[in-house]
Chains A and B, each alone.
Chain A
Amino acid sequence: MAGLFFSQIQGLDPLKSGEVLVAQNVFFTLIALVMILAALKMVTTENIVHAALYLVIVLAGAAGMFILLGAEFVAVTQILVYIGAIVVLFLFGIMLTKGSFGTEEGEFRERNRMAVLVGVLIVTVASGSFIDSFRNAELNREAPSTTAEIGDTIFGQFIIPFEAISVLLLAALIGSVVIARRDQ
């Protein structure tokens, strides 16, 4: 994978890629490599607490990607919500179901081949179609998006989806209480 990214960087038009752009590309490559490695470790490690920590690395990497893409508000939200809340929730889940698991054998190995096949298939089809459609499309954003713009869009154009999401969160809240509650 890394080779592919490097080749893309080298394939860039030297006139367009100024110093800033080179720095961005270097950061992208670094973060992407770390993310992929952490993700691979996460889905393969036996220790579930380690898996949660690897997930933190991936999520932080994604936040870095958002900053590279000029979406600072999303990056901040990513760190606040994902790393601050969701991962903690996961850790609680792990703690509450602790000792429930021995070793992962048998089925894990049996389905491994099929899962690898499915994964490779997805990467092939997706990247094939991406490369086919957006061959050398450049990202040349002038400036990062401001939080004000995002706020305007959410409370203007997307006010109904926003309200729907708030109802969804409420439903999820009540739903999880009902599901996890001990029956009397």
Chain B
Amino acid sequence: MLLNQFLILSAVLFSIGVYGVLTRRNGVMVLMSIELILNSVNINLVAFAAFREAIPGEVFALFVIAVAAAEVGVGLAMVLLLYRNRRNIDLAGIDSMKG
């Protein structure tokens, strides 16, 4: 197996995740797309760990999973707050930074 096939797979997944983050109006969907991005990074980390036969790559993948869990917790709490305040989670409606 080549290293590159894993790296390119992760690049593809990453860009699909970015696409989701940029286009979805539903807050939960954006969070799910972010998970996709984090997963693609994990594939990258583990692939390099296998390539260099180094454990730290896998350890960092584990750390990323832990951080992702924390991120989902806080992110969903924010979405719930949003839902409670506005009765929807449509990100298109949030434009108070408009200039």
Contact = CB atoms under 8 A, between A and B. Distances in A.
A55 B35 contact: yes
Given A97-B79, A108-B23, A134 B3 contact: yes
Secondary structure of the B contact surface, majority rule: helix
Contacts of A177: 77
B1 interface: yes
A134 B4 contact: yes
Q: Give the interface residue-count category, chain A.
A: 35 or more
Contact of A1 (B12, B53, B76): B12
Contact of B32 (A1, A52, A77, A165): A52
B99 interface: no
A39 B65 CA distance: 19
Say whether chain A's binding surface is mostly helix, strand, loop, or mixed. helix
Contact of B50 (A62, A97, A115, A141): A141
Nearest to B40: A62
Contacts of A51: 29, 32
A119 B87 contact: no
B2 interface: yes
B28 A48 contact: yes
A150 B55 contact: yes
Interface of A: 1, 4-5, 8, 12, 21, 24-25, 28, 32, 35-36, 39-40, 42-43, 48, 51-52, 55, 58-59, 62, 65-66, 68-71, 73-74, 77-78, 81-82, 85-86, 89-90, 92-94, 96-97, 100-101, 104, 106-108, 111-112, 114-116, 118-120, 122-123, 126-127, 130-131, 134-139, 141-142, 145, 149-150, 153-154, 157-158, 161-162, 165, 168-169, 171-173, 175-177, 179-180, 182
28 contacts: A36-B13, A36-B16, A43-B19, A58-B36, A62-B43, A71-B50, A71-B58, A73-B58, A74-B65, A78-B42, A93-B31, A97-B28, A111-B22, A111-B23, A119-B18, A122-B18, A126-B15, A127-B7, A127-B11, A134-B4, A137-B2, A141-B50, A145-B58, A150-B55, A153-B56, A162-B63, A168-B70, A173-B70
